[in-house]
C-alpha cells in the first residue's frame, strides 16, 4: 500500500494581506481553513473584491469535506459567497463567526443552501481523517480560535489571527494551557500568524485604550465621534462604558456599525444599558455636549458614514467646530491618501481630530501578536516544522528568522507562497510542485470574475483615453456616406485636439479609399485596418496610445 501523507496547500494569505485560505489533505479527506477576501489595490480599476483562485479545490471537489473558520473578519470569511456556488460544503465556526457568515450569505441569497455547524472552543469535532479542537485566542474581534488538527501523522496547529491579551475586556483569556499541552505531546507543524512580526515587544492589551478615551471624552467641548472597525466589539464596548462614565449617551451610524452592534447585542456579546442609545433620527437635535456617536468608515471608504460626514453629505450628522473626532483604528497601508484627505476636510471645519500618531497613550491597539508573543507561542508549541502565514513576503521571512532565533523548531522552517504545497510524511517534509493559485477579481454588483485583459483595458482607458471613429456605409452599394466622424474622450482637450482629429478623419477616409471591394464587404477587416492606421497616426502625432473602437453604421 502506498504510504499516506499529509499535504498543506496554501491558496491565499501568503505574500499578501488578506485572502487567507489553506487546504489540508490526508488521503481522500480534505478540509479548508478560512476563505478570505482582500480589497483591491488602486491599480485594479473598478474591482470590488479580490478572492483566492479555487481551481485546486474544484479539481479535488470529491475530497473536500468542510470549510473550517478561525474567526469572522472579512479577510477570513469574505470569499464564502463567491466560492460556495462551486463548492458547497459544510462550514464550521464559532457562534459569532457563523452569525457574520449568515448575514453575508443572506445578502447574496445563499443562506438556504448553506450548511452551518457551530463549534465551541474546548470541544473536538471529527471531519473525515481529521479531529479538530477549537482553542480560544484573543484578537480584535470576539469568538476567535486557533485550530489543533489531529491527523494520522501528528498534530497540526493553525494559530488563526491572535495576540496574547492578559486583560481582555470580556475576561476570556488566551487559552495558553491547551496550546502548551499540545506542545508537550508533540506538534508536527505550526502555521503561525505573521502580521505584526515587524513590531518589537508585546502588543498592548485592548484595555490600554481606556485611559486615553476617557481623557478625550472628558475634555471634549461638544459631541464626540468615534470611528473604529465595526467588528471591534471590545472597542465598541469600551466606548459605551466610557460614555456612561462621563454622562454621555451613545448613537450608532453606518450600515456595518449598526448591523454588528445589533448582532452582538442580540447574541449577548455587547452590553448596552437601557436608555443609553440615541436613535439615528434624533442625533442632529440631541445636545452635543451629551453625545458620543460610534460610526464606521475609519479607512475613508467611499460612501462610508465618516467619509460622508466629513463632506457634509450625511443625513443624520455633521462635524462642527470643536467637535471631537477619534479614529480608533490603524491606518491600513495603501489607505493613507484618502484617510488624510478625509481628516483634512474635518480640520477645515475646525474640529478636534485624534488619530494613531504614536502618542503617549494609545487610542488604538492592534489585534495581532508582536515579536515577544510570537516567541512565546513558538516556545510553547515547539513544533517539528514551522510555516509562517498571513502577511507579505518580508513578514513571512522575518517570522522564519524569529523562529530560527528562538530555536524550538526541531525540523525545517518553510517560507512559502500561495500555491506551494508542503508534503509531510513519516520521513520528513518536502516542497512539492506548485498548484494553480492566485487572485480572482470580482467586479462591483456582480459575482462574476474579471479577466486580466479587462483590467488592462481599464488601465489603458484611464491613461490615454478612447477614440471612436464612426463611419456610415450604404448597405446596398458599400460606399461611404458623408465624412467619417471621430469622437474622443480622455485623449486630448477640444482646443489641442482639433488639428489632430482633423488628421485622424483624413486617415480614416484614406484607409477606406485604399480598401478593395472584398475588404469593404467584411466589416471586421475594415475595422481592423482603421484601428491599425489610426493607432500609428495618433502615436506619431501625440506619443499616446488611446483605445481605438471603430464603429460602422449601416444606412
Catalytic positions are 193, 368
Those residues with Cβ within 8 angstroms of residue 309's Cβ, 6 or more apart along the chain or in another chain = 225, 295, 297, 317, 318, 319
Which residues lie below 8 Å from residue 85, measured CB to CB, with a gap of 6+? 110, 447
- How many separate helices (H) and strands (E) can be counted in the chain? 16, 27
Q: Which three cell numbers stand for residue 360?
A: 503617549
Rounded CA-CA distance 503/497 in Å is 10
Helix (H) or strand (E) holding 394: helix 393-406
Cell of 460: 489603458
Give the Cα-Cα-Cα angle 143, 192, 79 (nearest 5 degrees): 60
Beta bridge partners of 135: 146
* Ramachandran angles phi, psi of 62, nearest 5°: -65, -20
Residue 38 to residue 421: CA distance in whole angstroms: 22
* Pairwise CA distance, residues 213 & 452, whole Å: 46
Cα 476 → chain centroid = 56
The residue with cell 505531546 is 185
Residue 433 CB-density burial (10 A; 0-12 exposed, 13-18 middle, 19+ buried) = exposed
Residue 451 and residue 532 in contact, taking contact as beta carbons nearer than 8 Å: no
Q: How many CA atoms lie within 13 A of 73 on its CB side?
A: 24
Q: Could you list the beta-strand ranges (E) of 303-398.
A: 324-327, 352-354, 385-389
Amino acid at each position: 500500500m502506498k504510504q499516506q501523507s499529509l499535504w498543506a496547500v496554501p491558496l491565499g494569505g501568503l505574500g499578501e494581506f488578506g485572502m487567507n485560505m489553506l487546504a489540508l489533505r490526508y488521503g481522500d479527506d480534505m478540509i479548508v481553513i478560512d476563505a478570505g477576501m482582500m480589497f483591491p489595490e488602486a491599480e485594479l480599476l473598478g474591482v470590488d473584491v479580490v478572492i483566492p483562485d479555487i481551481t485546486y479545490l474544484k479539481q479535488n471537489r470529491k475530497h473536500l469535506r468542510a470549510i473550517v473558520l478561525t474567526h469572522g473578519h472579512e479577510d477570513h470569511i469574505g470569499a464564502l459567497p463567491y466560492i460556495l456556488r462551486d463548492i458547497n460544503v459544510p462550514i464550521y465556526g464559532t457562534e459569532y463567526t457563523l452569525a457574520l457568515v449568515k448575514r453575508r450569505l443572506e445578502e447574496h441569497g445563499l443562506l438556504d443552501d448553506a450548511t452551518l455547524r457551530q463549534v465551541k472552543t474546548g470541544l473536538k469535532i471529527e471531519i473525515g481523517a481529521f479531529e479538530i479542537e477549537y482553542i480560544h485566542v484573543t484578537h480584535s474581534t470576539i469568538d476567535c480560535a486557533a485550530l489543533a488538527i489531529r491527523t494520522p501523522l501528528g498534530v497540526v496547529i493553525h494559530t488563526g489571527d491572535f495576540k496574547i491579551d492578559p486583560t481582555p475586556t470580556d475576561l476570556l483569556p488566551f487559552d495558553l494551557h491547551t496550546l502548551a499541552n499540545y506542545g508537550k505531546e508533540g506538534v508536527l507543524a505550526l502555521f503561525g500568524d505573521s502580521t505584526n512580526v515587524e513590531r518589537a515587544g508585546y502588543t498592548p492589551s485592548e484595555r490600554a485604550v481606556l485611559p486615553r478615551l476617557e481623557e478625550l471624552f472628558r475634555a471634549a467641548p461638544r459631541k464626540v465621534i468615534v470611528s473604529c472597525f465595526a467588528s471591534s466589539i471590545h472597542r465598541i464596548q469600551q466606548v459605551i462604558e466610557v460614555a456612561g462614565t462621563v454622562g454621555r449617551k451613545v448613537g450608532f451610524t453606518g450600515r456595518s456599525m449598526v448591523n454588528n452592534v445589533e448582532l452582538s447585542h442580540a447574541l449577548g456579546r455587547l452590553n448596552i444599558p437601557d436608555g443609553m442609545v440615541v436613535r439615528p433620527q434624533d442625533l442632529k437635535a440631541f445636545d452635543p455636549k451629551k453625545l458620543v456617536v460610534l460610526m464606521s468608515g475609519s479607512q475613508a471608504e467611499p460612501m462610508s458614514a465618516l467619509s460622508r460626514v466629513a463632506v457634509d453629505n450625511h443625513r443624520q450628522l455633521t462635524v462642527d467646530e470643536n467637535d471631537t473626532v477619534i479614529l480608533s483604528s490603524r491606518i491600513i497601508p495603501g489607505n493613507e491618501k484618502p484617510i488624510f484627505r478625509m481628516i483634512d476636510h474635518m480640520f477645515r471645519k475646525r474640529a478636534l481630530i485624534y488619530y494613531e500618531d504614536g502618542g503617549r497613550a494609545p487610542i488604538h491597539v492592534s489585534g495581532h501578536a508582536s515579536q515577544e508573543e510570537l516567541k512565546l507561542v513558538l516556545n510553547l508549541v515547539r513544533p517539528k516544522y514551522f510555516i509562517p502565514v498571513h502577511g507579505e513576503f518580508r513578514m513571512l521571512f522575518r517570522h522564519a528568522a524569529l523562529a530560527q532565533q528562538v530555536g524550538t523548531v526541531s525540523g525545517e522552517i518553510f517560507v512559502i507562497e500561495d500555491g506551494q504545497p508542503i508534503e509531510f510524511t513519516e520521513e520528513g517534509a518536502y516542497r512539492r510542485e506548485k498548484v494553480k493559485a492566485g487572485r480572482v477579481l470580482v467586479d462591483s454588483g456582480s459575482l462574476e470574475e474579471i479577466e486580466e485583459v479587462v483590467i488592462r483595458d481599464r488601465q489603458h482607458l484611464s491613461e490615454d483615453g478612447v477614440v471612436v471613429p464612426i463611419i456610415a456605409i450604404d448597405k446596398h452599394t458599400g460606399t461611404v456616406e458623408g465624412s467619417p466622424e471621430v469622437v474622443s474622450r480622455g485623449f486630448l482637450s477640444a482646443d489641442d485636439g482639433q488639428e489632430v482629429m482633423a488628421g485622424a478623419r483624413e486617415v480614416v477616409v484614406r484607409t477606406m479609399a485604399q480598401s478593395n471591394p472584398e475588404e469593404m464587404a467584411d466589416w471586421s477587416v475594415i475595422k481592423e485596418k482603421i484601428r491599425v492606421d489610426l493607432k500609428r497616426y495618433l502615436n506619431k502625432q501625440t506619443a499616446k496610445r488611446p483605445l481605438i473602437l471603430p464603429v460602422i453604421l449601416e444606412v
